[in-house]
Every structure is written in C-alpha cells, then in structure tokens.
Amino acid sequence: MSYAQILANAHKTSTSSGSASSGKTGAGSSADTVTLSDAARAALAEKDFASVTTDARATLDALLAAAQVTSPLKDGAVAVDLGKVDRRELYAMSINSNQKFTVDEQKAAAIELQNRFDHALAGPTAVGRVTGSIKGLYTAALAYFDGMGPEEKATAAYADQRAALEQMLNKIEADPGTLPGAVANDPIDAYMQRLAAGETGGLRDIGSVAADARATLDALYRSSGGTRPDYSDFDSRSIAAVALNSGGRFSAAESRAASAEMRSRSASALLQGLQSAGSSTDPGAFAQNVISLYGAMSPEERAAAGWSDNLYAAAVASYQSASKLGSLLGAATGSTIWSGSASGSADTGSFSLMDYL
C-alpha cells in the first residue's frame, strides 16, 4: 500500500458521513428509504465530459494566471502545480478535448498523469526491492487503473493494459519468478524501463513548491483575517516545504504548525499501516507497510516527518527478521500461513527482481 493510498484511506475513515437517504411519507403510509452507496452517489454527481473540459480550461487558466506564465512547461518540465487538478480534467487536457488546449498544455497534463502513476508504484517498488516480490506493483497498478475516469476506461489502451495487468497477476500466482514483460502491453514493464533510466518521479523543484505554498498561505491570511494557518488542504510536499522553511519564505510559527501537521499525517499513515497489517497473516506486513510509506515519500517529506534512513533500515531489518521467523514457524508447523510474502520466490534460483529493480 502506498503512502498516498494509506493517507487517503485514513482521510476517508475520518470524514465518512455514512449513507445518504431520501424518503417520502404520506398519510397512512410508512417512509420509503433508499440508501445509496458511495459509488452510486459518485455516479449521480458525475459531470458530462463537455463540462469537465470546460472546467479543465478554467482550472488551467487560473493556474497559469497565478504563476504569471503563459505555458505550463519550462525547459520540458511542468512549471505549474497540477497536483490538485481533477484526473478527468487532466485527461481532457492531455487529449486536447474540444480543441481547447495547446501542445504544451497537452504535454504537461500527460507528464502529470504519468507522474501520478509512477508515484502510485513508488511504495510497492520499495517493498519489492526488499522482499523480492513483484506482486504488489501489479496490485497497485490495478487500483490505479480502476480509479481512472470513464473516458480513459473507454479507450483501447486502457483495455489492453488492464488486461495485461490481470494476466501478469495470474502468471505471478502460478510462478512468483515471473518478471515484467512476459505479456504485451504491460504498463509495469514500461515503468520499470523508465525506472532503470532514472525517468520516474518527476518531482517539482522544492523552491517552486515553496513559492506556491507562500502564495497560498498569503491568500488564506487575506481571506481569513490573518488567523492561524490551516494546512488541511495542502499536499504533503507543500507542508514539508513550509516545515523546512524552504527558501527562507516562512515564519517560525508557520514552520512549527506545518511540522505538527506533517507529523500528524505521518502518524495517521503509520496507524493505517499497523491496522492493515493486523488483518494479515504475513508476519512482516507492518514492516512492509513502513517501507512502502518511506519509498513513496519525497526526501523533503521524510525530513519534515522526521523519517530518517535509520527508520528505513530498522523496517528492513524488522521485515527480514519477521520473514526468517515466519519461515522457521512454517517449517515447524508444516503450514504456509507463516511463510510470508517472499516465500517460494527467493529460493527459485531464476528470480532476478533485485537486479531488475
């Protein structure tokens, strides 16, 4: 599970408002209550793609104006913060929906979409380097694909790539030594090639992130009369920029508040990882979750949260100890329930994921 996924789950748990219902009561009749699922409510609220495209144009115009630039690209890199742009809006930009977007705008949106996919795999990649198991990357990729909008899901590329992910998962179940590229159209194989070439991640310069955070804070102060900064809508890297006082742009009070928010978020993520591990039969599950969290965080986020290299090393050692203990327990009891996620892969002799990653 990636850092972003765990934080999203924590946020969903804390903000869930239960089911929505509507009823109508007349004389002599009982109330008829209809309970809607989250998916049903989302479907009711879904906009048509023409409206999404219009909103995408307005969103991008506002970002360009705020950054005082005419193009979202500079020297081939994204120069504005597209991190909070709705995924369907990004997709509309990337395909030049209704011919509303320039070539640079299309490219910037495509880069952001690629970066989001890469980020979703960052945590599972960190786990794979330690455990030798590639399955987590495919599970994360499937979750990412399932979160795409209906327009993306209607494309042939989506159908081909999602089918490849499912085929690979089936192959991995049958043979844990299967490597990416065993089937055509595998997006993990493409990701691995970018990873090997050092072309994944795509983080904006922390100075640019800090400048945006400064502007956002100033706008919040103006709208609220200068009250204590509220970081609830800030992404984690922006909070890290404030906490670390990147560029010397922030007051001591702002940095202290951002540090408290960052540590609170990381604590919530750790709690989610612990709770997730509690339902697993893998003795190294919590250590894997910590490794995934660490791998998905930027260097600035780790520094602001107080996550050192020593923490990562301890998580790796904990996983290795738990896996060894699990193997011993499995041998003693004759049960595979204790064998851990890497069992059946490290001893095959043909598995080369470590070199691959």
pLDDT at position 38: 61
**How high is the mean pLDDT in each 10-residue block of the chain (357 residues)?**
42 38 35 47 72 97 93 91 94 98 97 95 94 93 96 97 97 93 95 92 87 90 78 90 96 94 92 85 86 93 94 91 70 52 38 44
pLDDT at position 23: 36
DSSP-derived letter for residue 232 is T
CA distance 19 to 40: 11
Contact (Cβ atoms closer than 8 angstroms) between residue 69 and residue 80? yes
How many of the other CB atoms lie within 10 Å of CB of 184?
A: 11
Sorted by where each begins, the domain ranges of the chain are: 49-196, 206-338
pLDDT at position 334: 54
pLDDT at position 356: 47
pLDDT at position 43: 52
pLDDT at position 222: 86
Backbone φ and ψ of 251, nearest 5°: -80, 165
> Three-class SS of residue 77?
strand
